[in-house]
Amino acid sequence: MWSEMDIVKIAAIVLSLMVAIIGHEIMHGYVAYRYGDTTAKAAGRLSVNPIVHVDPVGTILVPALLYISGAPFLFGWAKPVPVDIRTVIMNGGYKAAVAVSLAGVSYNFALAVAASLLLGFFENPHSIFSAFIALFLMYSVIYNVVLGVFNLWPFPPLDGANALRFLAMEFRWQPVIDILNKIEPIGMVLLIVVIATPLADFFFLPAQWLIGLLLR
């Protein structure tokens, strides 16, 4: 039987994770829109309505399984927001494409910092509501940092790889482009290998450091 605090904790986890992953996707579309790409707006994907962004597997099933299995942190994703990167490049060049690629990550880190600052006002919650807010802010720090760091990994199709590719195009770093093109077909395999092995501890070190810094 779940206690009142169990329900509050689960609600805080679900809300913080959804705000992190859905906001991440919306920001890709919003920044692309600022560079003249109306694809996401026309598809109704700049809406804050969570229903249009929910991916049954990434937003619901995977986080639920991780929670039930007692994983150290939850993870998930929303439906990718459609972006016509050719329009973005035509209007703003490769630097604009880098901005679109890093928009979601920037959102995650900004939200983590904001949640960390606000958390100081709820260090000693005296009610269920204030306990919910404190938990929501704490998990917002954790999940936004994890998502931000994860998406910066240089493995296609993650944001870090996309940003690196467009940056290489801007400065004509052909060897970098060639490497990314070679690993692109096996990008998902590389991700699975990293996540499922002790390599994850190494790749998530920056996330552990940032979480410790923001929650100290």
21-52 pLDDT, tens digit each? 999 999 999 999 999 999 999 999 999 888 88
- Residue of 4, 25, 123, 170 marked active site: 25
- Averaged pLDDT score across all residues of the chain: 90
The count of domains in the chain is 1
The model's pTM: 0.91
25 is catalytic: yes
Lowest mean pLDDT among 71-85, 90-104, 120-134, 195-209: 71-85
Rounded CA-CA distance 154/150 in Å is 9
Phi, psi for 93 (deg, rounded to 5) = 80, -175
Give yes or no for a contact between 115 and 90, defined as CB atoms under 8 angstroms apart.
Answer: no
Asked if residue 147 has pLDDT above 80, the reply is yes
| Total residue length of the chain | 216
Asked if residue 66 has pLDDT above 90, the reply is no
> 102-136 burial, b for 16+ CB within 10 Å, e for fewer?
bbbbebbbebbeebbeebeebeeeeeeeebbbbbb
Give the position of tokens 């467009």.
166
Phi, psi for 3 (deg, rounded to 5) = -85, 175
Rounded to the nearest angstrom, the gap between the alpha carbon of residue 142 and the centroid of all alpha carbons in its chain is 11
What is the SS3 assignment for 61? helix
Q: Taking the CA atoms of 199, 200, 204 and 208 in sequence, report the sign of the dihedral they define.
A: negative
Q: What is the span of the domain harbouring residue 100?
A: 4-215
Rounded CA-CA distance 45/195 in Å is 29
- pLDDT > 90: what percent of the chain? 63
Helices 85-119 and 4-34 pack at an angle, to 10 degrees, of 140
What confidence tier does 10 reach under pLDDT thresholds 50, 70, 90? confident
